[in-house]
Amino acid sequence: MNVSAERKKKPTAPELANALPPDEILFGRSGAMKEVRKRATKIARTNIPVLLCGPKGSGKEVLARWIHAHSPVANGQFVKINCAAIPGTLLESELFGFEKGAFTGAHSTKPGRVELAHNGTLFLDGIADLDLASQSKLLQFLQDGRFSRIGDELERSVDTRLMCATDKDLEEEIAEGKFRADLYYRINVVRLKLPTLRDRREDIPAMAEYFLARCQEQFKAQAEPLTMETLHYMQCMDWPGNIRELSNGIARHVLIGPEATILEDSSLPVTPALPHVPANGVVPLKRLCKEAIRASEKNIILAALRANRWNRRKAAQELKISYRLLIYKIRDAGLMTKGKNSFGSPRG
Ligand SMILES: Nc1ncnc2c1ncn2[C@@H]1O[C@H](COP(=O)(O)OP(=O)(O)O)[C@@H](O)[C@H]1O
Ligand SMILES: [Mg+2]
């Protein structure tokens, strides 16, 4: 590793989060992401409101920025509001601005964020976290693009493209009375759903290499190349933090090395200990037992692979099965993708 002593200092979480600027995107070749790319390309040409759904770290903001950059309002600003970070009472002043003296502490006039987003994009991140009062105010504004700064009579109007993101199930939030159905219909004109990283395992090696190259450039540092074993292992992880977790892991590898640090925060693959038993009184014993056996087998195979640093020949010997059968079982358990993959022929 060719990094200075200072660089070897463990970076803080915000440093890692900022390690890779979210202005580039890698779609990958998984079926799920090909579909996202196709739809995003079409959506980008229009001005319709988009709702981006998917778990934390799955790339909702990165995709929103990409859509903005490829849209008719690309020359305008991309204005992001993190709904979870702004308390309900402050949201109105943040969104619509205020006049000097409108309330205690309003020492000078401040334009609203919606004004900055005029002829650009307004990106409301974590939309499910808005309280009901803020939801009503937002809905009023979305109906005609008109608003007034707090403490100002003048009605203003802006033209902005709206994108919202959430990792929650808004329909569930509506059913629980936490989210307004009418607001939901207004923001959910088209929806893009981003998959979890474990639902696109075939993209992991390419993403890891991509982050490695980007990170080395960004930090002007040279890191060890990723070994086949590490790439294999990474494909088996569950990645609860999704792409953010992967990119942070690679940043750690570049800044502090060695490879083991990539997996520092990651949970081991989660295999349900027992299959889900339906609550409706029907207990299909044969099927449930089969699932339980498969889950245990997957755990045992993973443990053997890990113990042998992904040397599959050694793992097969240890498990007292043939090499071919092990390869079949690895694929069957979804631990490796079928067909050609980016790390070539088996070494073990
Ligand atoms: N498709 C992608 N291509 C490249 N980097 C990505 C991609 N998706 C996510 N990332 C990386 O992961 C981090 C988290 O993505 P982000 O869009 O903030 O996730 P979310 O908004 O869903 O929580 C980003 O900072 C970026 O480094
Ligand atoms: Mg986000």
Mean pLDDT of 81-106: 88
Structure tokens at 172: 């569930």
Is 174 exposed, middle or buried, given 0-12, 13-18 or 19+ CB atoms closer than 10 A?
middle
> Pairing between strand 121-125 and 110-111?
unpaired
pLDDT at position 278: 66
- pTM of the predicted protein model: 0.76
Select from 114, 121, 116 the least CA-distant residue to 52.
Answer: 121
Which pLDDT band, with edges at 50, 70 and 90, does 84 fall under?
Answer: confident
CA of 249 to the centre of ligand 1 (A): 13
Which pLDDT band, with edges at 50, 70 and 90, does 82 fall under?
Answer: very high
Quickly name the fold that domain 31-193 has.
Answer: Rossmann fold (3.40.50)
Which pLDDT band, with edges at 50, 70 and 90, does 293 fall under?
Answer: confident
Closest residue CA from atom 20 of ligand 1: 57
Instruction: Out of 98-107, 110-119, 254-263, 276-285, pick the least confident.
Output: 254-263
Instruction: Out of 99-108, 141-150, 315-324, pick the least confident.
Output: 99-108
Which atom of ligand 1 lies closest to the CA of 54?
22
Closest residue CA from atom 12 of ligand 1: 244
* Residue 330 to residue 297: CA distance in whole angstroms: 10
Which atom of ligand 1 lies closest to the CA of 125?
21
What's 127's DSSP letter? Answer: G
Instruction: Out of 74-83, 207-216, 313-322, 326-335, pick the least confident.
Output: 326-335
Mean pLDDT of 217-233: 85
CA of 61 to the centre of ligand 2 (A): 5
Instruction: Out of 58-67, 307-316, 319-328, pick the least confident.
Output: 307-316
* Statement: residue 105 has pLDDT above 50: yes
* Statement: residue 215 has pLDDT above 80: yes
pLDDT at position 259: 52
Mean pLDDT of 274-293: 74
**CATH 1.10.8.60 domain span(s) along the chain:** 198-332
Q: Which residue has the higher pLDDT, 22 or 35?
A: 35
- Closest ligand to C-alpha of residue 239 is 1
DSSP for 49-114, written as a single string: -EEEE--TTSSHHHHHHHHHHTSTTTTS-EEEEETTTS-HHHHHHHHHEE-TTSSTT--S-EE-HH
* Residue 16 to residue 35: CA distance in whole angstroms: 29
Mean pLDDT of 40-54: 95
* Residue 288 to residue 270: CA distance in whole angstroms: 18
Query: End-to-end distance of the chain based on CA atoms, in angstroms?
Result: 27
pLDDT at position 286: 85
Mean pLDDT, the chain, whole residue set:
83
Mean pLDDT of 275-279: 63
Closest residue CA from atom 13 of ligand 1: 244
* Statement: residue 29 has pLDDT above 70: yes
**CATH 3.40.50.300 domain span(s) along the chain:** 31-193
Ligand 1 site-directed mutation target among 68, 203, 243, most atoms within 8 Å of CB: 243
Which pLDDT band, with edges at 50, 70 and 90, does 274 fall under?
Answer: low
Which atom of ligand 1 lies closest to the CA of 246?
12
Query: CATH assignment of 198-332?
Result: 1.10.8.60
309 phi, psi to nearest 5 deg? 45, 45
Q: Spell out which residues line ligand 1, taking CB within 6 angstroms.
A: 20, 22, 24-26, 54, 56-62, 165, 243-244, 247
Instruction: Out of 104-113, 226-235, 265-274, 281-290, pick the least confident.
Output: 265-274
Q: Which residue has the higher pLDDT, 310 or 85?
A: 85
Can you state the percent helix, strand and coil of the chain, rounding each to 5?
50, 10, 45
* Residue 287 to residue 275: CA distance in whole angstroms: 9
